[in-house]
Structure 1
Amino acid sequence: MLFKIMIAMLAFAANSVLCRLALTDQYIDPMSFSLIRVCSGAAVLLLLYLFSAQKAKIEWNVINGFFLALYIVAFSWAYLHIDAGVGALLLFGTVQLSMVSYGLWHGEKINIQRGAGLGIAILGIFILLLPGAAAPNLVYAAMMVLSGIGWALYSIAGKNMQSSLASTLANFVLAIPFVLLVYAAFYTKSFVQPQGVLLAVLSGGLASSGAYVLWYAIVKQIDRVTASSVQLSVPCLAILGGVLFIGEALSWRIIIATVIVLVGIALVVFDKSVLNSAVKVKS
């Protein structure tokens, strides 16, 4: 399970890096990036479904498709005019608060260890992203918050899906019309270069499609508090990706904050009471 979570989080971070590369270097506009991303994701998922040994019944849910489209469009749009670090904080901070609040509302409990882990992880995010970051434009900050709400709702919906591959395929297909409508509204401002197309295809066909199937399989086996907590690692991984692939500076503050976040996540994920209850349920 831990290995699967790590793969999913790396893919989520890769989406941030790919989007930043494409938009910062002006290889493509955000709506074209979003449309190519969702279409390439749907194409890859369709191939995986067609070649799968057991073809589960496809679960069509327009609301889930809308949640996915909301996340993708708002994500790309916000990263056009907002600092990457602040954007990651707003996105996954919103996901954290949304999923924890939903979990508590539906009876999930947080003990001392998990509460401390959440607090430590959030502290690490603030240390990592807030100091030295320029104040974000309120409009685009709101777009990133909206993206976080969309992703939180999409993750929560994953608990009710029977087949992660079939349901993710349906969600991507149903997200296309929503993204297409937004693209059409801003068609006159669209521009595409080959590098932008490649980055969008990598984001949709590699870092999104397969990773979202994996994520839907994961969220069915863990509670919402854990699901939201492990995603706090994504901003840290995105910062490291920026260092490796975009040439951003790596400081001791980044290293220390990353360690703090990972320690907090470890406290949540490796809570003995939750692990023991999970083992009892399986047995």
Structure 2
Amino acid sequence: MRLAALTTISMLAFAANSVLARLALGGGHIDPLAYSGIRLGAGACVLAAIALWRARRAGAGRASGLPQAWLGGSRAGALSLLLYAVSFSIAYGMVATGPGALILFASVQFSMLAWAVLRGDRPARLEWLGIGVALAALVYLVSPGLVAPPLAGAALMAVAGAAWGAYSLIGRGSRAPLSDSAGNFLRCAPVGVLLIGFGAWRAPPGLQGVILALASGALASGLGYIVWYSALPGLSRAQAALVQLTVPALAAAGGIVFIGEALTPRLVIATVGITGGVALALLASQRRAPRRRAGP
């Protein structure tokens, strides 16, 4: 029961990031760069505070806690996080909640798959079938038409997804995910201050936009990641990947309920195609994994 609750809360938090961003940016309440900076700063404060609290509970002194939080993570991880946050925010100024989350999710999966293939992994036919279905559904989603998302916004969201995929690959072997997350956010914080200043110069933020950015950074991102990392030890790799298939659907539902976005046939078909194709590829990969381990 506890595992199910933690998993549900974390998926809702991930979907909430899309809804909050679209509320703030689609309504013009804040500049995308200022939104990114506030989100990164708020996430850094929450994650660093919790990392320090845990370090002190574990017996680390006041003097050693802060350096540990700063030394977690890596420059590559911070750079990936920064690229994701900025691309994500700019894209959500143009793309609706559901399509944006779907493109983001698909790009994350495709980028991680591409890396695995480059590293020598050779997907089986059933995996390629699932990948082909998902890719075809993504092309259908962004193909020209009255309800297609703007191409520039879709491209930026794809960049955000690729950056998040890189961030996930960099952190895959982390032994201290909380400390590494805090360190990556803290490395981004100085750039976040510059983003806030430049974004405010371009367009003074409204109070609603600031509140939504703070909620995204502190709650949906900072606390959401902590809940997710608490759930991960109880999930297999396949379960962790498959449960994330719910995020685009949850984000689309949030866009309909809280923003009044339309549920179009194109979005429904693309959602079924992308999530179904990725699920097929993941399940086929799991079936192939025991054979890979049993080989020489």
Which TM bucket (shorter chain)? 0.7 to 0.9
Deviations 1:217-249 (A, max 9, x none): 7599638xx85x775654333222211111122
Partner of residue 212, structure 2: 199
Partners of 1:230 and 1:126 in 2: CA distance? 23
Q: Which moved more, 1:166-175 or 1:230-239?
A: 230-239
After superposition, what is the alpha-carbon deviation per residue over 1:55-80, rounded to whole angstroms, capped at 9, x for unaligned?
79542412211211111112112222
Q: Which residue of 1 aligns with 2:147?
A: 133
Pick aligned residue for 2:77 from 56, 64, 68: 64
Given the alignment, which residue of 106, 110, 133 partners 1:97? Answer: 110
8 Å contact kept, 1:19–1:199: yes
Q: 1:143 aligns with which of 143, 156, 160?
A: 156
Please say which structure displays the higher CA radius of gyration.
2
DSSP 3-state at the match of 2:172 = helix
- One-letter amino acid of the counterpart of residue 238, structure 1: A
| Residue type of the alignment partner of 1:136 | P
Supply the RMSD in Å over aligned alpha carbons: 3.6
The reply on whether 1:180 has 2:198 as its aligned counterpart is: no
Q: Which amino acid aligns with 1:273?
A: R
- The answer for the alignment partner of 2:167 in structure 1 is 154
Cα deviation, 1:176-197, whole Å, max 9, x if unaligned, reads: 1222233334441132222222
Cα distance change of structure 1 residues 169 and 156 upon mapping to structure 2, 3 Å threshold? same
What is the aligned counterpart of 1:166 among 166, 179, 183? 179
Corresponding pairs, count: 276
- Using the TM superposition, give the Cα deviation of residue 159 of structure 1 relative to its aligned residue in structure 2, in angstroms: 1.1
Distance change (3 Å), C-alpha of 1:253 and 1:90: closer
2:134 is equivalent to residue 121 of structure 1: yes
In the other structure, the counterpart of 1:222 is: 237
How far the C-alpha of 1:41 sits from its partner, in A, is: 1.1
- Residues 10 and 92 (structure 1 numbering): CA distance in 2 closer, same or farther, change over 3 Å? same
SS at match of 1:150: helix
Contact 1:159 1:216 (C-alpha < 8 Å) held by counterparts: no
Quote the sequence identity (%): 37
- Residue 32 of structure 1 aligns with an amino acid whose one-letter code is A
Gaps of 5+ in 2: none
Q: How many Å apart are 1:175 and its aligned residue?
A: 1.2
Q: Tell me whether 1:273 sits opposite 2:287 in the alignment.
A: yes
Q: 1:44 to 1:277 in 2, by over 3 A?
A: farther
Structure 1, unaligned stretches of length 5 or more? none
Offset of residue 17 of structure 1: 1.0
Query: SS at the partner of 2:237?
Result: coil
Residue 120 of structure 2 aligns to a residue whose secondary structure is coil
- 1:251 and 1:136 map into 2 onto residues whose CA distance is 15
Pick from 190, 195, 210: which aligns with 2:203?
A: 190
TM-score (norm 2): 0.76
C-alpha distance in 2 between matches for 1:2 and 1:270: 21
User: 2:24 matched to 1:22?
Assistant: yes
